[in-house]
């Protein structure tokens, strides 16, 4: 039985006049269960070559079509080291935000919506390396 967890730790001694130390861990479970998510696309990398919108993850395609009622999480990181370079992350027409150099995002994602593609738009036409991963439930293929 898989157990998949995600952790985040935020620490700062300089936020206003107060110190901050916060740690949160979450078990990533299959829909409606206490069984951990057991599948992943693996950590993938893509290098952008233009500052035009490109699809990072497709929804409702191939053998995973109809999979969207299941649970999944997405990790995306902008690996640039140039502070002013960013990528815009969108799900369909909704802008989720910008990831600047070294920034990352971790959020839930369902593949069920044909309009649920995750796209990125780099701020520059020079190469930016993007890392990403989809952690999700396994699917059962039914022979016909």
pTM higher than 0.75 for the full model? yes
Q: Is residue 126 part of a domain?
A: yes
Q: Is residue 1 part of a domain?
A: no
Best CA proximity match to 126, nearest among 82, 94, 89, 95: 82
pLDDT surpassing 90 at residue 64: no
Q: Is residue 2 part of a domain?
A: no
What pLDDT is attached to residue 128? Answer: 97
- Are the C-beta atoms of residues 38 and 73 closer than 8 Å to each other? no
What pLDDT is attached to residue 12? Answer: 84
Q: Is residue 68 part of a domain?
A: yes
Sequence-distant (≥ 6) Cβ neighbours of residue 117 within 8 angstroms:
55, 57, 58, 59, 91, 92
Query: What's the CATH number where 51 sits?
Result: 2.60.120.10
Q: Is residue 17 part of a domain?
A: no
Owning domain of residue 58: 37-136
Which of residues 130 and 57 earns the better pLDDT score?
Answer: 130
With bands split at pLDDT 50, 70 and 90, how would you rate the model's confidence at 47? very high
Which of residues 60 and 95 earns the better pLDDT score?
Answer: 95
> DSSP E strands: which ranges in the chain?
5-15, 18-27, 39-40, 44-47, 54-57, 72-78, 86-91, 94-100, 104-108, 118-122, 129-136
Q: Is residue 122 part of a domain?
A: yes
- Are the C-beta atoms of residues 18 and 89 closer than 8 Å to each other? no
Which of residues 46 and 11 earns the better pLDDT score?
Answer: 46
Q: Is residue 8 part of a domain?
A: no
Which of 8-12, 45-49, 77-81 is predicted with the least confidence, judged by mean pLDDT?
8-12
Q: Which two tokens stand for residue 71?
A: 């649970």
Q: Is residue 84 part of a domain?
A: yes
What pLDDT is attached to residue 63? Answer: 45
| Number of domains comprising the chain | 1
Three-class DSSP labels, 61-75: CHHHCCHHHCCEEEE
């Amino acid at each position: 039985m898989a157990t998949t967890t995600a952790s985040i730790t935020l620490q700062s001694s300089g936020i206003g006049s107060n110190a901050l130390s916060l740690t949160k861990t979450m078990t990533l479970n299959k829909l409606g269960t206490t069984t951990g998510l057991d599948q992943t696309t693996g950590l993938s990398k893509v290098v952008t070559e233009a500052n035009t919108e490109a699809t990072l993850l497709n929804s409702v395609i191939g053998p995973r079509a109809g999979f969207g009622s299941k649970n999944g999480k997405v990790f995306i990181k902008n690996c640039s080291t140039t502070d002013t370079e960013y990528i815009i992350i969108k799900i369909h027409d909704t802008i989720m935000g910008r990831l600047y150099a070294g920034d990352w995002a971790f959020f839930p994602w369902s593949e069920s919506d044909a309009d649920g593609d995750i796209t990125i738009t780099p701020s520059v036409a020079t190469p930016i390396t993007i890392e990403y991963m989809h952690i999700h439930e396994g699917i059962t293929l039914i022979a016909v």
